[in-house]
Amino acid sequence: MTAKKKNDGHAPSRGMYYNSGNGASLVPIDIGHKQYMGLIDPDTAFWSLVKKNKLGEVLDDSKFIKAYGKKAESFAKEMHKLRFELNLSAVYFNPTERCNLNCKYCYIPETMRKKGKDMKKADMFKALTKLRSYFRKIMPKGRLPQIIFHGAEPMINREAMFGAIEKFQDDFRFGVQTNGTLLDDEAIEFLTSTGTGIGLSLDAPTPKIANKTRTTWEGDGVFENTLKMIDKLRGYKGYNVICTVTKENMAHLPKLVDFFHGLEIPAIMMNILRCTLPRSRNLRPDDHKVATHFFAALDRTHELYKKTGRKMVVANFANILVSILAPTARRLMCDISPCGGGRAFFALAPDGGMFPCSEFIGLPEFKGGNLFTDNIDKVLKTEAFRKVTERKVEDIDPCNRCAIRHFCGSPCPAEAHEMNGGMDKTGAFCEFYEEQVRYAFRLIAERKEADFLWDEWDKDTQTTFDASMLS
Ligand code: SF4
Ligand code: SF4
């Protein structure tokens, strides 16, 4: 065997053999396919699909090992760049702490959502002016940073937010993640004419199920209202609908796919619930049950695509596929370790408080500083941020010996910290993530992966991060 890896000086081995000394690690994994299994280098995320009865031959084939040996270093470099060398390129901007809904899985504490603060228009302009100067220094020419107005419910502070979008139109790409209840014709006209990305939320195809998780403070459902907005946005390319997958709606995911496809929604997300706060854990689905429903829904998107010729991409799953096919082309940053929180983006609270990600906004110990008074680079290096940006799969058991760790990323640090007691713990759904990667490999084995991806997904593989689809 001739797979040569540079001796890094820690052990006197030239890395001549795989799986010993400094040699490449090549780990076979069961992907649940009749014919194929995966062969992965967990360190570099190199992989190959191998016929089960040929595994011995492949591992004994000096050409294969040599070919990998040649690529190993560039794979390792690419992975290192993605994991440790990205610059900030987006901000999740919370213009208010308040929300007119009381969704059962919200990560923002109830008191904030009921009685919290709004950011004043003048402060919003001040914040964006400071961010503009910062991004001008670090962003490559021709690329604009992203501002995603996020919640609570950003439309509660509509006037300030729209004023900011108007004023800073040439400086940022804007998006707004909204529950849709406060949108009206005028707002839709403004957002679509300014090219603002719009993310709506809807969890099920019927009010009975959807209203189990998303209601007003009085307990009234908002299904019809959201549907009205989806209908008004028909034809607008820059919007998506996010469904949060819980034990309440998981069995309805395939029907939801039919429903969304019928509404001609261009892209959706089926995000598994985050269990950061105790109340959301009441909705936690079983890993294997949720995986079964999730894959049935993905299969359904494929059937509908074949039947109608119209693709509806499930963006969060497409991102897993991309993380396998071309790691640096991924658009979302939950399934890489360290995740994007605090390094590719941060979350801004209405009082200027800076947090690594919106998931941490209700957790004061993760406040790294204040945008109005502190230096941004210094905040990114604070202990509050480093706890997240330095959380690596290598330090987490069993992720440190998991072959698919760079396709999973062991999300989410907020969950790990709050639910399982530390950053060196896993989050809520390890077995679901295992199944998800196995499903993705099965699609690749069947050569169906392109049917689940955006058209031209690999056109700009330099795009290492695009927050437009992040929930
Ligand atoms: S894994 Fe969690 S903390 Fe990291 S970006 Fe995703 S939601 Fe935010
Ligand atoms: S959470 Fe589970 S699947 Fe993900 S990297 Fe860790 S051990 Fe692997």
- Give me the average pLDDT of each 10-residue run along the chain (471 residues): 48 80 90 96 93 92 82 89 94 95 88 90 98 96 95 94 98 96 96 96 95 91 93 92 96 98 94 94 97 98 97 96 89 93 97 96 95 98 98 97 96 96 96 98 97 81 39 31
Token couple for 7:
């001796």
Regarding the beta carbon of 444 and ligand 2, being less than 6 Å apart is answered no
Which residue's CA lies nearest to atom 5 of ligand 2? 405
The Cα 337–Cα 408 span in angstroms is 8
- Between CA 278 and CA 257 the distance in angstroms is 29
Task: Name the token pair of 405.
Answer: 């760790």
Closest CA to 134 of 434, 371, 443: 371
CB atoms within 10 A of CB 238: 18
Distance (Å, rounded) from C-alpha 270 to C-alpha 298?
Answer: 10
Residue type, 219: G
Kindly give the number of the ligand 2 atom that is closest to the alpha carbon of 409: 5
Sheet of 36-41, strand order: 27-29, 36-41, 46-51
Q: Which atom of ligand 1 is nearest to the CA of 339?
A: 4
* C-beta 240 within 6 A of ligand 2: no
Nearest ligand 1 atom to the CA of 409 is 1
DSSP for 397-453?
TTGGG-TTHHHH----HHHHHHHHSSTTS--S-HHHHHHHHHHHHHHHHTT-GGGGS
Contact at 8 Å (CB) between 429 and 412?
Answer: no
Per the confidence metrics, is the pTM higher than 0.85?
yes
Query: Given this model, what pLDDT does residue 384 score?
Result: 98
For residue 151, how far is its CA from the centre of ligand 2 (angstroms)?
Answer: 29
Query: What's residue 8's pLDDT?
Result: 55
Q: Which two tokens stand for residue 56?
A: 């011995």
Query: Which pLDDT value is given to residue 458?
Result: 73
Q: Is 333 helix (H, G, I), strand (E, B) or coil?
A: coil
Does residue 402's CB lie within 6 angstroms of at least one atom of ligand 2? yes
Query: How big is the CA angle at 46 (ends 42 and 48), to the nearest 5 degrees?
Result: 110
Q: Which atom of ligand 1 is nearest to the CA of 471?
A: 7
Which of 29, 287, 393 to probe ligand 2 with, by most ligand atoms within 8 A of CB? 393
DSSP string, 19-57: TSTTSPP-EEE--S-SSEEEEEETTTTEEEEEEGGGHHH
Cβ of 398 closer than 6 Å to ligand 2, yes or no, is yes
Nearest CA-CA partner of 297 in 428, 439, 407: 439
